[in-house]
Chains A and B, each alone.
Chain A
Amino acid sequence: MNLDGPRIRAVVRKELLDYRRKRAIVVSMFLLPILFLVEPIVSIFLASPVESNAALDKYVILPLLYLLLIAVVMPSTLAAFTVVGEREQGTLEPLLTTPLRQLELILGKAAAVMIPSVALSYLVYGIFLVAVALFAHPAISSAVFHDGPILLALFLFAPLVAGWSVVVGMAVSVRASEVRVAQQLGMLASLPITGVVVLFAIGVIQPTFTTAIAFAAGILAIDVLALRIVSRMFDRERLITGTKATR
Chain B
Amino acid sequence: MGQRSSHSEHARAWTVVIDGIVVTTISNERTLEIPVEPGQHLLRVRSTRYLFSPERSFEVVAGQVVRFSCHPRSLSPIIFTRWLVWLLISLVKHELWIALKLDDADSADFNARAVAARVDVTPRAIGVRGRPTDSRALPSDVRATNVTSAPARPPTIGPSALVVNGLSKRFGERTAFADVSFDVGYGEVFGFLGPNGAGKTTTVRTLGTLITPTSGSATVAGIPLSPENGVEIRQRIAIMPESPGLYLRLSVTENLEYFAGLYGLRHATTRIKDALEAVNLSDRASDLCGGLSKGLRQRVGLARTLLSDPAIMFLDEPTSGLDPVASLEVHNLIIGLREKGVTIFLTTHRLDEAEKLCDRVAFLNTTLRTVGRTVDLREQLFKRSLVVTTLAPLKDPDQFFTGILGVDDWRSDGPNSYVLTVSDPKIAAPEVTRRLVGAGVDVLFIGEAQHSLEDVYLELIAAGVEGDQT
Contacts and interface: CB of A to CB of B under 8 A. Distances in A.
B101 interface: no
Interface string A10-32: 11011001100110000000000
Contact of B171 (A21, A101, A241, A247): A241
B438 interface: no
Nearest to A102: B230
B246 interface: yes
Contacts of A18: 247, 249-250
B245 A90 contact: yes
Given A94-B239, A94-B241, A9 B261 contact: yes
B171 A243 contact: yes
A10 B210 contact: no
Nearest to B176: A241
A98 B259 contact: yes
Interface string B258-301: 11011110000000000000000000000000000000000001
B235 interface: yes
A220 interface: no
Contacts of A203: none
Interface string A220-247: 0000000000000000110011010111
B212 A7 contact: no
Contacts of B240: 94
A133 B459 CA distance: 85
A219 interface: no
A243 B239 contact: no
B424 interface: no
A241 B201 CA distance: 11
Given A6-B264, A7-B261, A93-B241, A237 B231 contact: no
B335 to A, nearest CB: 23
Among A6, A89, A98, find the residue whose CB has the most chain B CB atoms closer than 10 A.
A98
A245 B212 contact: yes
Given A94-B239, A96-B210, A240-B210, A14 B264 contact: no
A99 interface: yes
A91 interface: yes
A34 interface: no
Contacts of A100: 262
Specify the main secondary structure of chain A where it touches its partner.
helix
A92 interface: yes
Nearest to A7: B262
- How many B residues are at the interface, by size bracket? 35 or more
B208 A245 contact: no
Contacts of B172: 243
Given A14-B258, A98-B262, A99-B234, A246 B212 contact: yes
A21 B250 contact: yes
B392 interface: no
Contact of A17 (B231, B237, B250, B301): B250
A236 B211 contact: yes
Interface string B196-212: 00000010010011111
A4 interface: yes
A164 B247 CA distance: 27
Contact of B264 (A4, A94, A237, A243): A4
A97 interface: yes
Given A10-B258, A91-B247, A101-B231, A236 B210 contact: yes
B210 A99 contact: no
Given A14-B250, A91-B245, A4 B210 contact: no
Given A7-B264, A99-B264, A246 B170 contact: yes
A184 to B, nearest CB: 24
B129 interface: no
Contacts of A246: 170, 212, 214
Contacts of A95: 245, 262
A245 B261 contact: no
Contact of A14 (B7, B208, B238, B247): B247
Nearest to A243: B171
Contacts of A236: 209-211
B336 to A, nearest CB: 22
B249 A21 contact: yes
Contact of A97 (B212, B238, B261): B238
A13 B238 contact: no
B200 to A, nearest CB: 14
B159 interface: no
Interface of A: 4, 6-7, 9-11, 13-14, 17-18, 21-22, 89-101, 236-237, 240-241, 243, 245-247
10 contacts: A6-B261, A11-B262, A18-B247, A18-B250, A21-B249, A93-B241, A97-B238, A97-B239, A99-B232, A237-B210
Lowest 10 CB-CB distances: which A-B pairs, in order? A10-B261, A21-B249, A97-B239, A94-B245, A98-B262, A99-B235, A14-B258, A91-B245, A90-B245, A99-B234
Given A14-B250, A245-B212, 12 more contacts: A6-B7, A18-B247, A21-B250, A22-B249, A89-B245, A92-B245, A95-B262, A96-B210, A97-B238, A98-B263, A236-B210, A243-B171
